[in-house]
Structure 1
Amino acid sequence: MVLEIHEVEAKTIISSTKVPSADFVINPYTGCQFACSYCFASFMGRFVGESISNWGNYVYVKTNAVDLFEKEVHRLLKKKPHPRLSISTVTDPYQGVERKYRLTRGVLEALVRHKYRGRVSILTKSPAVMDDVSLLQELENAEVGLSIATTDDVLSRKLDMMAPLASARLDVLRRLNEAGIRTYVFVGPLLPHMHLRPYLIDQLFSEIKGAGTSEIKVEFLNMPRHVRARLNGYLMDEPVEIQEVYSKSQNADYRKILEDQIRTSLDAHGLKLRFDEIVHHAEAQSLVED
């Protein structure tokens, strides 16, 4: 299916957030062409009239994002200390359209011009973040997170659809560290089948540590209703034992076992758990429809 790109004008670009790691968020795009099957952000489609099933096939480009940011950033600059910013929380700031529109770059350039001193955090799956390394180096308090849930490129292609392969992301992580950029890895979601094969957790954490990163954020699989159909589609061709562990992945006893496995592996590899918390979304969820 051909990616549909819609150019729109936003009314605002800096939004306050309840995310504990940031004070404000900036999302230059709505939608994401990476089409990851487990992505909770597909709910954003309702704000632009897109169905859940069409996730990954559209991107709405906020063409005035940089101009808006220039106008709105001044209220942040007046605050002492400068607030913590997150780019982006419900899209990927370096998906393919960024190479044409350069909205993320424009925001970073503005932050550099204004000598922004608050933390600027970027989360991505794309090697395109390397295009802006020089800007990140100029910011006093920048960090880049890479989303990496597996070291297996075959599984990465199944679950992350159009996103860069896991191996490419690990390479970017290494290059960012070599460039002196502070990094972390977002292991989200922690894939439930790793409960059956704990060596996969060790393998992933070993690769992360080997790339020069010492901090990771871990989140259990989030399965609101709008994610279930896509995951069921992936699981149809998987062995029964894998299907079963995904269906049980929201149970408290399962999460307790997996959390113990995670913390044991973190200690073994000398990794720090970001915010000392493994994130789980509170409501009980299941692959089975209510």
Structure 2
Amino acid sequence: MDVGSVVIGQPALGQLKNGRKEALVEPVEIQAKTLIQKSKTPSNDYVINPYTGCVLGCAYCFASFAGRQFGRSVKEWGDYLYVKKNAVELAREELAKMPEHKRRGTMLLSSVTDPYQGHETKYRLTRGILRELKRVEYPGLVRILTKSPVVTRDIDLLTSLPRAEVGITVTTTDDKVSRWLEVRAPLASRRLRTLAELTEAGIPTYAFVGPLLPHFATQPELLDDLFGRLVDAGVSEVFMEHINLKRYIRERMDQVLAGEREDVREAYLQARTKEHRAQLDAIVAELLGRHGLRLRFEEVVHHDDNDVLRQRLASST
């Protein structure tokens, strides 16, 4: 697929039909000691990760470090899943002990896994946790972030919570591009339909355009198309993040880029520069105005700037 000077490759021949091999990942059931953790991400107070690992295995995912406690390397990201079998029981116990004033904090599901990846249809941990949040009438915001249409299964619980919102990660409108970097994730077109379904159900939604793909700098019309599709799906607010290319992520990205042309590899190399991010920031600002979209945090976030952003948010409250 031609995206300006960047030619996006196809999934490796070893991939299964539709690029999926989720069924080949045999989950390991574990007993977790704790569940609700203080969040290190801006604007979230607490985070719940019902699983360790993520079978979607997106090449750019910053969470590929998450399996270190089980001796998993970043190159294995997507090939393992640890299921916290007692997650619902822990949620019940920990919510019961949580002081009333702390219950007003924003609760994120999830930060280093997808709470609605395919195995959720069997284990139903995320649904059970939402049921516990409903049982205590959790007054804080319950925030979901996922790539999966499985989230629509829980519309009944999401609409019954005092405050809830769902974010869907959409990085492109082109299924071929999403299949290249997000080989086992639901297609981009399906995620856009999921946003529309959630909006129709009356659930507040946002889109997470993260990472902001490097080729948008040379073909802004592709980002223009993405914003237009998001508006069509009922989205009014986007959370955007520059691609994180720290060394451990580059180890995985290098595997994906190895068979690509030199100009493709160069595009991702340039994405590490401040000049590239500034160029994308300007494009984003113009297109947001054109489509009437709000930008969460009023900036395109970069991982290296998270501490600065967190301090700014804290000082504004």
What band does the TM-score fall into relative to the shorter chain? over 0.9
- Aligned 8 A contact 1:105 1:132 in 2: yes
Q: 1:81 to 1:14 in 2, by over 3 A?
A: closer
* Structure 2 residue 170 is the aligned partner of structure 1 residue 148: yes
Q: CA deviation at 1:20?
A: 1.9
* Aligned partner (choices 82, 102, 125) of residue 103 of structure 1: 125
2:136 matched residue in structure 1 = 114
Q: CA deviation at 1:18?
A: 2.6
1:222 matched residue in structure 2 = 244
Separation of aligned partners in 2, 1:199 and 1:30: 37
Q: CA deviation at 1:75?
A: 3.4
Separation of aligned partners in 2, 1:69 and 1:119: 16
Over the aligned positions, Cα root-mean-square deviation in angstroms equals 1.3
1:193 matched residue in structure 2 = 215
- Which secondary structure state, in structure 2, belongs to the residue aligned with residue 282 of structure 1? helix
Separation of aligned partners in 2, 1:236 and 1:51: 19
Query: Which amino acid in 2 is paired with 1:95?
Result: Q
Segment drifting more, 7-16 vs 241-250: 241-250
Deviations 1:110-134 (A, max 9, x none): 1111111110001000000000000
1:241 matched residue in structure 2 = 263
- Aligned 8 A contact 1:76 1:82 in 2: no
Q: CA deviation at 1:81?
A: 6.0
Segment drifting more, 15-24 vs 161-170: 15-24
Query: Could you state the TM-score of these two structures normalised by the residue count of structure 2?
Result: 0.87
* Structure 2 residue 180 is the aligned partner of structure 1 residue 158: yes
2:193 matched residue in structure 1 = 171
Deviations 1:252-279 (A, max 9, x none): 1111111000110000000000111211
Long gaps (5+) in structure 2? 1-20, 306-317
1:86 matched residue in structure 2 = 108
By relative contact order (CA 8 Å, sep 6+), the higher-ranking structure is: 2
Separation of aligned partners in 2, 1:173 and 1:37: 23
- Aligned 8 A contact 2:74 2:252 in 1: no
* Structure 2 residue 174 is the aligned partner of structure 1 residue 132: no
Q: Where does structure 1 differ by over 4 angstroms across 4 or more consecutive aligned residues?
A: none
Q: 1:77 to 1:139 in 2, by over 3 A?
A: farther
Q: CA deviation at 1:80?
A: 6.1
Query: Which amino acid in 2 is paired with 1:229?
Result: E
- Aligned 8 A contact 1:76 1:83 in 2: no
Separation of aligned partners in 2, 1:132 and 1:118: 18
Query: Which amino acid in 1 is paired with 2:53?
Result: G
* Structure 2 residue 60 is the aligned partner of structure 1 residue 38: yes
Listed as ranges, the matches of 1:61-76 within 5 Å are 61-76=83-98
- Aligned 8 A contact 1:28 1:104 in 2: yes
Q: CA deviation at 1:241?
A: 2.7
Q: CA deviation at 1:21?
A: 1.3
Query: Which amino acid in 2 is paired with 1:21?
Result: S
Deviations 1:35-78 (A, max 9, x none): 10000101001012212211111110000000011000123352
Q: CA deviation at 1:4?
A: 2.4
- Aligned 8 A contact 1:126 1:164 in 2: yes
- Which secondary structure state, in structure 2, belongs to the residue aligned with residue 138 of structure 1? coil
- Aligned 8 A contact 2:103 2:138 in 1: no
Separation of aligned partners in 2, 1:259 and 1:153: 24
Query: Which amino acid in 1 is paired with 2:268?
Result: Y
Long gaps (5+) in structure 1? 284-290
- Which secondary structure state, in structure 1, belongs to the residue aligned with residue 57 of structure 2? coil
Deviations 1:86-126 (A, max 9, x none): 01000000001101110000010011111111100010000
Query: Which amino acid in 2 is paired with 1:59?
Result: L
Separation of aligned partners in 2, 1:92 and 1:82: 23
Query: Which amino acid in 2 is paired with 1:243?
Result: R
Separation of aligned partners in 2, 1:194 and 1:78: 45
Separation of aligned partners in 2, 1:99 and 1:179: 21
* Aligned partner (choices 181, 188, 191) of residue 203 of structure 2: 181
Q: 1:100 to 1:80 in 2, by over 3 A?
A: closer
- Which secondary structure state, in structure 2, belongs to the residue aligned with residue 79 of structure 1? helix
* Aligned partner (choices 57, 75, 86) of residue 79 of structure 2: 57
Deviations 1:191-243 (A, max 9, x none): 00111101011011110011000100010000122211221222234343332
* Structure 2 residue 278 is the aligned partner of structure 1 residue 256: yes
